[in-house]
C-alpha cells in the first residue's frame, strides 16, 4: 500500500515549478488520476457513440393539408435530336411507383425539330402514353435515322 501512495505522489502530471521547489502530495496524485479517469471515460463513451450504428425508421403522413388533392406542376423541355416523335412517350410515376394516369394530350406536346433544334410545324396530336412498352420496343428496332411517315425532322422535342 505504501508503494501505491509513493507512486501516486510521483504521478502529479502538472508541475508548475522546478522539482527543487515541488512537494508532491497524495491529493495531487489522486486529482491527476481522477482527471485521467474522467478523460478516458469521456473518450471511450464518445468513441462508442460514434462507432455504434443506429437504424431508425420514421414514417409520417402529412395530415395538415390535403396532400392528395394538391398536384405538383412540373414543366420540362427536352430535345432528342436523333429520335422521331413516334418513338417518344412519357410515363409519370408518383412516390409509391404508381403510374399517374391523368396525363392528357393537353399536358404533353411534341414538336418535330430540325438539325439545328428549331421547331418544325406544330405539335403532334398524340397522348402522353401513346406508346405502350411493347410498341416502344418494336419501334426501337427501326434503323437509326428513320422517321415516321410524313416526318421531315431530325429529332423530337418534349415540352
pTM of the model: 0.33
Give the structural domain span for 41: 2-51
82 and 34 housed in the same domain: no
81 and 159, same domain (yes or no): yes
H-only helix segments in the chain: 2-10, 26-51, 133-140
Q: Are residues 105 and 36 in the same domain?
A: no
Mark whether 128 and 154 lie in a shared domain. Answer: yes
Query: φ and ψ at 35, to 5 degrees?
Result: -65, -40
Shared-domain flag, residues 85 and 142:
yes
Residue 28 and residue 102 in one domain = no
Predicted confidence (pLDDT) per residue in 79-136, tens digit: 888 888 778 777 777 777 777 766 666 667 788 888 888 888 777 655 444 444 433 3
**Number of domains within the chain:** 2
CB 24, CB 6: distance < 8 Å: no
Residue 27's contacts (CB-CB under 8 Å, 6 or more residues apart) are: none
**Digit-coded pLDDT (tens) for 130-155:** 444 433 333 333 333 333 333 334 45
159 shares a domain with 87: yes
Give yes or no: residues 31 and 8 share one domain: yes
Please report the sign of the dihedral spanned by the C-alpha atoms of residue 9, residue 15, residue 20, residue 25: negative
Same domain, 101 and 151: yes
Amino acid at each position: 500500500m505504501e508503494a501505491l501512495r509513493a507512486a501516486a505522489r510521483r504521478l502529479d502530471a502538472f508541475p508548475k515549478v522546478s522539482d527543487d521547489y515541488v512537494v508532491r502530495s497524495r491529493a495531487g496524485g489522486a486529482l491527476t488520476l481522477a482527471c485521467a479517469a474522467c478523460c478516458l471515460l469521456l473518450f471511450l463513451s464518445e468513441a462508442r457513440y460514434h462507432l455504434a450504428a443506429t437504424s431508425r425508421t420514421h414514417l409520417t403522413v402529412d395530415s395538415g393539408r390535403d396532400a392528395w388533392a394538391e398536384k405538383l406542376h412540373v414543366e420540362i423541355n427536352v430535345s432528342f435530336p436523333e429520335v422521331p416523335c413516334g418513338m417518344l412517350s412519357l410515363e409519370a410515376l408518383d412516390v409509391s411507383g404508381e403510374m399517374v394516369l391523368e396525363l392528357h394530350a393537353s399536358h404533353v406536346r411534341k414538336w418535330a425539330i430540325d438539325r439545328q433544334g428549331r421547331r418544325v410545324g406544330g405539335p403532334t396530336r398524340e397522348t402522353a402514353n401513346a406508346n405502350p412498352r411493347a410498341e416502344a420496343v418494336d419501334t426501337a428496332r427501326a434503323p437509326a435515322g428513320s422517321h415516321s411517315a410524313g416526318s421531315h425532322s431530325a429529332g423530337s422535342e418534349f415540352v
